[in-house]
Amino acid sequence: MPKNTHKIAIAGAATLGAAALAFSVVPADAQTTTKTDAVSSARVAYSSEQVKDVKGSVTDQLAGASVKADAIEAKKKAAAAAAAKKKAAAAKAAAAKTAAAKKKAAAAAAAKKKAAAARKAKEAASRSAKRAAIKKAVTKTYANNLDGWIKRSLDIMKSKGIPGSYHGLHKNIMRESSGNPNAINNWDINAINGIPSKGLLQVIPPTFKAYHVPGTSWNIYDPVANITAAANYAADRYGSIDNVNSAY
């Protein structure tokens, strides 16, 4: 190698993969680059290709990692959406179950109330029937005599709105028939006309028929029927049997 020959070799690889550069600076009279220098330049160029490959590999790895992260995130979102949907379905089912339970409870309460009302009505009817039976069992009885006939007649008169008192009935009965239910007058004007007065209050047949009180016998000699018909007639003509003090 010549004495004054100076060689300077510069090799570099650009960060973005630029080709390696080699420079040799020699005097004008010096020889050109040696074989060894050419080999060195070739090696630098090969090294730059390796840098490119490494950069591409890293980029690919980063891209793959990003895709993987996106996939994981999407999977998480899908799982969350499925969980939310499941939770909503469970809540809906629970609400439907609660509504059905309330409806069933309401129906049961209504049925219970209806049954209670029916039972109450039945009990009331039963009590009414018992009261009627008791009332029937304690039906008022009357003695079969003048006192009993007057008292029974007074009860009938009261139920029909016919005025009169025990004293008014008794005094007129004693004057007309002396308390004999079979008494008959065969000598007065009525007898002469063929319609004699009969019974306790000496009522003629047409008057008895006209003032007969429903619920009593149609027999003019029946004590109660005779008294109530005569009291009905007296009430219509005199205002009350109590106002009669003589034959009527």
Give 52-73 pLDDT, tens digit per residue. Answer: 555 556 666 666 677 777 788 8
Task: Give me the amino acid identity at 181.
Answer: P
Q: Between 42 and 131, where is the model more confident?
A: 131
Per the rule left: phi > 0, alpha: psi between -120 and 50, beta: everything else, 139 is beta
Residue 122 has which token pair?
Answer: 């039945």
Do 48 and 19 form a contact (C-beta atoms < 8 A)?
yes
Task: Give me the amino acid identity at 211.
Answer: Y
Do 166 and 151 form a contact (C-beta atoms < 8 A)?
yes
Is the pLDDT at 35 greater than 50? The verdict is no
pLDDT digits (tens, 9 = 90+) for 197-218: 999 999 999 999 999 999 999 9
Task: Give me the amino acid identity at 76.
Answer: K
Handedness of CA 21, 26, 29, 32 (dihedral sign): negative
Q: Taking each helix axis as running N to C, give the angle between helix 223-238 and helix 166-176, from 0 to 180 degrees, rounded to the nearest 10.
A: 110
Is the pLDDT at 101 greater than 80? The verdict is yes
Do 149 and 142 form a contact (C-beta atoms < 8 A)?
yes
- Is pTM beyond 0.75 here? no
Residue 227 has which token pair?
Answer: 């008294």
Is the pLDDT at 8 greater than 50? The verdict is no
pLDDT attached to residue 13: 37
